[in-house]
Amino acid sequence: METFIIDVPVPSMGATVSELNVIVIKVQPGDRVTKGQRLADLESDKSAFEFESPCDGVIHAVIGQPGATMNSGDPFVQIETSDESLRHLKSGTAKSAASAPAAAMPAAAVVWTPRATKLAQEAGLDPAKITDIEATGPGHRVSGDDVQRYIAARK
């Protein structure tokens, strides 16, 4: 049976919830998982829940990081599987997926919100290389406001 790597997205929790916080991750690359197995615990501003594997397979990469805030639809984990019903989630490139965890967790172990990462990249900055930014967001994460202050201070 042919296997392929899929990008498993952060689930959508409805029209009013677009961001989820990663509480704990229960798997790591190389782990064999079964459909329905708990991969992580996530929470929104309304509830906490267990995020389960959509298929049997092997964890290829974990993109989400504990303490991070992620948008619904963002890639959360990559699984190598042979489940043809999930082929529509096939990963674009193994190279970019392999580098994603490094981009999600900068060298100084500072956790960035997705909005902060986007703002930094739009300003031509690499979040993985910024180690002198003050993180004032919830859980000591770098927020979009932190990035805006950082950029303004350098003008």
Mean pLDDT per block of 10 residues along the chain (155 residues) reads 90 75 91 95 81 94 88 90 92 46 43 81 87 78 87 88
How many domains is the chain partitioned into structurally?
2
Q: Which domain holds residue 144?
A: 114-153
Measured distance CA(19)–CA(87) in Å, rounded: 25
pLDDT given at position 44: 77
Helix (H) or strand (E) holding 121: helix 114-122
My answer on whether 8 and 75 are in the same domain is yes
pLDDT given at position 92: 73
My answer on whether 93 and 122 are in the same domain is no
Provide CB contacts within 8 A for 19, sequence distance 6+.
Answer: 44, 69, 70, 71, 72, 113, 114
Under DSSP, the state recorded for 1 is -
Q: Give domain status of residue 143, yes or no.
A: yes
pLDDT given at position 61: 92
Both tokens assigned to 116: 């902060």
**CATH number of the CATH domain containing 83:** 2.40.50.100
My answer on whether 10 and 79 are in the same domain is yes
Could you tell me how far CA 55 lies from the centroid of its own chain?
19
Amino acid at 128: A
